[in-house]
Amino acid sequence: MNWTYLGEAVFLGLSVGLMLWVLKKHEGQSRLKLWVIATGVSLGIYLALKMLDVPSEAMGIRVLLAFAIMMAANTVLQFMTLLLWEHLARRQMELPIPRLVIDVLTFIIMATLAVVLLNTLFSVKLTAFLVTSTVLSAVIGLSLQDILGNVFAGLSLQLERPYDMEDWIEVDGIEGAVEEMNWRVLTIRTRNNDLMTVPNATVSKTIVTNYSKPTKLHLSHVTVGVGYAHPPERVKKVLLGAVSDTNGISAKPSPVVFLEDFGDSSIQYDVRFWITDFSRKLHITDAVRSRIWYCLQRAGMSIPFPISDVYLHTVTPDHEEKLRAELREDIIKELKNLDLFKPLTHKDITTLAEYSSILRYTRGEAMVRQGDTGDSLYLIRSGSVEVTLRTDKNEPVVLASLGPGKCFGEMSLLTGEPRSATVTALEETQVVVVGKEGLKALFESNPLLVEPLSSMLEDRRKEQVASQTKASKRRNKVESKSSEKHREDILARIKSFFKL
């Protein structure tokens, strides 16, 4: 028994144990664990035979040594790939290393090692081997020309780098994010979360559209048709307002609207906006189209049906008047339930309803913004809204959530002061909007209404101050003015605003 190889055996055992311990921390590496165990077994058998004084010149021992060295080299390369490239480069340093680079380097190292082993252990003369294998090489080259074409195309793509890992691209009609690039194919993850593989040779021969380069900015379009009765400048203003507040749209470059065409039934407008996350393109364009519909509906602008069939129906002369009367009755019913207007008679509320309207907002739309000027009150008919206040640190603080029957904007309606908070729709919300013109008509016919309305407004103001103080979790300076003094101030501001 030759114990001179005992140190090598101990080192081998410690190395195998250390590698298996490291691999326990990485999930999905069962294949690499098998390579480590197989390498340890093959090298262990070789060392055991050497300890038994088996001659090194024996063909069996040389074959076993070559096999063990090749397995050890492959195992070490896979282990280094996992630690250095997969873990360190990709996850820690966020450097996307293409799989093709790893595969090519591994092949070169293994091929070089194989040549060295043939020359060292088996005394194979490489010159004679290459000369006698010319015909065999030609046959293999012809049979593997597609595979070799993919390999060389992959190398060319790596040098040119038209895309990187996780870039959104379109190749041969397939759109998705680059998942992996190896020696044969390009793997793309589509929006349906499916993996599509495209041969490198096909990629190199077709047009590749990269939506992530040169920057993440990508121009998107939404086309909408609006009726001929609406002036284009007004339509463009409404469309820009719908797009500017949509989440996911870049503020710079700013959105633009072009009059694209005069269609058979409508004027076609091209709404253009920039996004920075191409993976969310469908969600963003959906939000844009939804907001466009709501904004056009509130502005009284129609999206005509395509002209293909003619439908005839009889409309009585008073049809429009009946619709307006029904709408007015709905508004009167809502206004009667509002505490602020309790001092008003049925006649007063009817007058107020003549100057009011019903509007609808979609989820996420801001109805009013803190600091903006305003002269209208909003009464929630259906849906819900969220009231937020920006603090001195410009951080939004949620004050309250309001539902049907609640109102906001009364201070702006009666005094014209800027909006004190931002109100955003939490879902599709319908509101009754009461404008300044209606109250002005009431005050002109009955100036005595100013005093009871100012009292109701002071009560509402105290409730809002208490709510804001509670939401911000800090006390502001306690106002020294009495409630009566506040009523007098509000009364004076109302008279000044309406020029009474």
pLDDT single digits (tens) 143-182: 556 666 666 777 777 667 788 888 999 998 899 999 988 7
- Predicted local confidence at residue 135, as pLDDT: 54
Give 313-354 pLDDT, tens digit per residue: 676 777 778 888 888 899 999 988 888 888 888 888 998 898
- Predicted local confidence at residue 131, as pLDDT: 54
- The CATH class given to the 162-210 domain equals mainly beta
Residue for token pair 């390498």 = 39
- Predicted local confidence at residue 127, as pLDDT: 63
- Predicted local confidence at residue 438, as pLDDT: 86
**Inter-helix orientation angle 483-498/450-472, to 10°:** 120
Specify the higher pLDDT residue, 77 or 93: 77
The answer, yes or no, to whether residue 266 has pLDDT greater than 80, is yes
Mean pLDDT value across residues 194-220: 90
pLDDT-based confidence at residue 479 (cuts at 50, 70, 90):
very low
The b-or-e profile of 233-257 (16+ CB within 10 A means b, else e) is: eebbebbbbbbeebebbbeeeebeb
Tokens of 401: 């959530």
Predicted TM-score (pTM) of the model is 0.60
- Predicted local confidence at residue 478, as pLDDT: 40
Give 214-257 pLDDT, tens digit per residue: 899 999 999 999 999 898 989 999 999 999 878 889 988 999 99
| Residue ranges of domains in the chain | 3-156, 162-210, 218-298, 321-474+482-498
CA-CA distance, 119 to 99, in Å (whole number)? 31
The answer, yes or no, to whether residue 281 has pLDDT greater than 80, is yes
- Predicted local confidence at residue 476, as pLDDT: 45
% of the chain exceeding 90 in pLDDT? 25
- Predicted local confidence at residue 10, as pLDDT: 85
Specify the higher pLDDT residue, 449 or 297: 297
pLDDT-based confidence at residue 284 (cuts at 50, 70, 90):
very high
**CATH of span 321-474+482-498:** 2.60.120.10
- Predicted local confidence at residue 86, as pLDDT: 61
pLDDT-based confidence at residue 379 (cuts at 50, 70, 90):
very high
Distance of CA 206 to the CA centre of its chain: 29
DSSP state of 90: I
| pLDDT averaged over every residue in the chain | 82
Containing 443, the helix (H) or strand (E) segment is helix 436-445
The answer, yes or no, to whether residue 133 has pLDDT greater than 70, is no
- Predicted local confidence at residue 457, as pLDDT: 74
The answer, yes or no, to whether residue 490 has pLDDT greater than 90, is no
The answer, yes or no, to whether residue 282 has pLDDT greater than 90, is yes
The answer, yes or no, to whether residue 269 has pLDDT greater than 60, is yes
Give 177-198 pLDDT, tens digit per residue: 999 887 778 899 999 999 999 9
pLDDT-based confidence at residue 482 (cuts at 50, 70, 90):
low
- Predicted local confidence at residue 89, as pLDDT: 52
Give 115-130 pLDDT, tens digit per residue: 888 888 877 766 655 5
- Predicted local confidence at residue 474, as pLDDT: 45
- The CATH class given to the 218-298 domain equals alpha beta
Listing from the earlier edge strand, what are the strands of the sheet with 422-425? 366-368, 422-425, 385-390, 396-402
- Predicted local confidence at residue 384, as pLDDT: 93
Cβ atoms within 10 Å, residue 3 = 8
- Predicted local confidence at residue 209, as pLDDT: 93
Specify the higher pLDDT residue, 99 or 393: 393
Give 427-445 pLDDT, tens digit per residue: 989 999 998 888 888 888 8
> CA dist 399 to 365, 390, 477, Å?
17, 10, 19
Strand partners, 196: 188
Counts for the chain of helices (H) and strands (E), in that order: 16, 16
DSSP state of 248: T
The answer, yes or no, to whether residue 301 has pLDDT greater than 70, is yes
